[in-house]
Structures are given as C-alpha cells and as structure tokens.
Amino acid sequence: MSEFSSIGLVGRQDNANIPDSLNSLADFLLQRQGVKIVVDEAVSGFMQGHSAFAEMLIAPQDELHLHCDLVIVVGGDGSMLKVASTLAQQNLPVVGINRGRLGFLTDISPEDLEQVLGQVLDNKFKEESRFLLDVSIERGDRKEEIGCALNDVVLHPGIAAQMIEFSLFIDEEFVYQQASDGLIVATPTGSTAYSMSAGGPIMHPKLDAVVLVPMYPHSLSSRPVVIDGESEIKIVVGDRHNMMPQVSCDGSVEFTAEAGDQILISKKAEKLRLLHPIEYNYYATCRSKLGWSQRPGSS
C-alpha cells in the first residue's frame, strides 16, 4: 500500500504547458484507488474545467502540509526553486515533473509520467535531502531576514556594469577584501547552475559544503573556495563609486544593499525532501544534462 494517499499539485502560472500537464496528472492520480488531490490555490484556475474539480481540495501553498503527504511540482527547475523554501518548512516530500529545459530537480519527464510516478506512488523511489541557505541583512542596529535559496545567493552590481567592493568573513575570520562584479554563494544543488557558469566546481548533492565563486575578480589569484556547510558567511559591502549592489536568492532580487551593510548567509535548519525515480543516478543526470561524453561504444 502506498504511503501517499493525499497528493498536492503545484505548478508555475506563466508556463503554457502547465494546465495540460496538471489535468493529465490529475487524470492519472484519480485512477489510483483512494488517492485524494489537493491543488495549490495559485494554479487552481487551470483545473476548473476538470470533471473531478469539485472533488479536489484547494489550499494555500503554505498550508499544503495540513492536507497532503506528498507534493508534485509541475514545471522546470525554476518552479522547484520557487517553492523549495515553503515545502522544506512544511517537511513535505516533493517530486518534480519536468516541463522546463534542464531538469536537475524536476527529473520525471511527461512521457514517463505514468510509469515512473506510478513507481514512486508504489513506494519505489530514492529520497535525498537538499539544504538551503538563509540570508539576512544587518544595517546598523537593525537585522532583517530577506530570503532563502536552494541554489545560490548572489551579490551583484544590478543594472550597472561596474565593479563592487566587499569584504568576506567566514566564521568571523577575515578572508579577503575584493573588487569584482560580485560573489556567488552556492549550495551543492546550485553548483550546476550559475556557479558552474562562473567557473565554480560541480559538487555532489550529498556534500555538506558551500562554494564561494567570485565574479570577474580584479585579481589573477582569486579562485572559488569550498567551505564547510555549517559555516557562517558574512559579506560587508564596501563604499565604491556609491554603488548599491543587489542581493539575489535563486535569481530573484530580494534586497538592494548599501555601503556598510552586512549580508549574513547560513544553512537553513529545514531541508527539502526530494524524491527521485528508483533508477535515479546523479552522474547519469550530469551526462545527460551537461553533455558529458559516454563510454566508448555506448549508445
């Protein structure tokens, strides 16, 4: 018997493929005896035409844990990033149906939905936890929590193509002062995203580590640094050309900083519970998504 009897459906609102995918997914789930469907109210409008819509429960995203024991996210990796913090806070296991491009996090294709998702619902899956980063700002005597990131936290100049200046501290120890286009602080999950594009290393998701990747530093010796995942990171914004750099979490701008601001980054207590198909293999995913070469003679 499946351990999942009440299943939440979440998706992006700005993807034309989502309505069809959500309705097809609902059709499949309703074929399974005893399954109840809970729909995130943000996308409930996509499903009003479904024949069983009246039997579905509509709930706010932050209350899904009160009504379901599994959440299925329909969309690309960006869709998973947008809901990761909320679902981690609720300790809900999550499965991703890929309607995007890469699919590192949403790794079940629509073509394999019935077979692979059926296996997950039959308790044949792999579960792993992915940690997130909490971000806060200290300005004078005031401290403000500004966001959370599954992939990365980025300090960058915003729209102005100019260098910014900042000082980096790890566990209250001074590391360096730097002039650059910014700094990427990435989790292992985010090591195959923006961090990789900036020259950072790929880190296995099981690592308890964070990578700091400078963006076009004005120094030939500045390189990515991998640190312990439990480290407390502090970035002090410098006063350079009156720049007011921005802080982004998973690509969304959360805050515009000022000179003297202290950006504090640390591991979030709650983790994202990510479910994969039983045959999931991280290195196979890298071969597929990143174009790594196959073994000689393999198809």
Report how far residue 47's alpha carbon sits from residue 128's, in angstroms, rounded to the nearest whole number: 30
Q: What is the DSSP letter of 202?
A: P
Catalytic annotation, residues: 77
Decide: 21 and 74 in contact? Cβ < 8 Å: yes
Report how far residue 76's alpha carbon sits from residue 107's, in angstroms, rounded to the nearest whole number: 9
Report how far residue 78's alpha carbon sits from residue 250's, in angstroms, rounded to the nearest whole number: 8
C-alpha dist (Å) from residue 8 to 44, 93, 110: 11, 10, 17
C-alpha dist (Å) from residue 73 to 25, 143, 168, 190: 11, 33, 36, 18
Report how far residue 94's alpha carbon sits from residue 269's, in angstroms, rounded to the nearest whole number: 18
What stretches of the chain show up as alpha helix (H) in DSSP?
Answer: 18-30, 77-89, 118-121, 194-197, 282-290
Report how far residue 84's alpha carbon sits from residue 151's, in angstroms, rounded to the nearest whole number: 10
Lookup: tokens for 236: 């002090």
Determine the length of the chain.
299
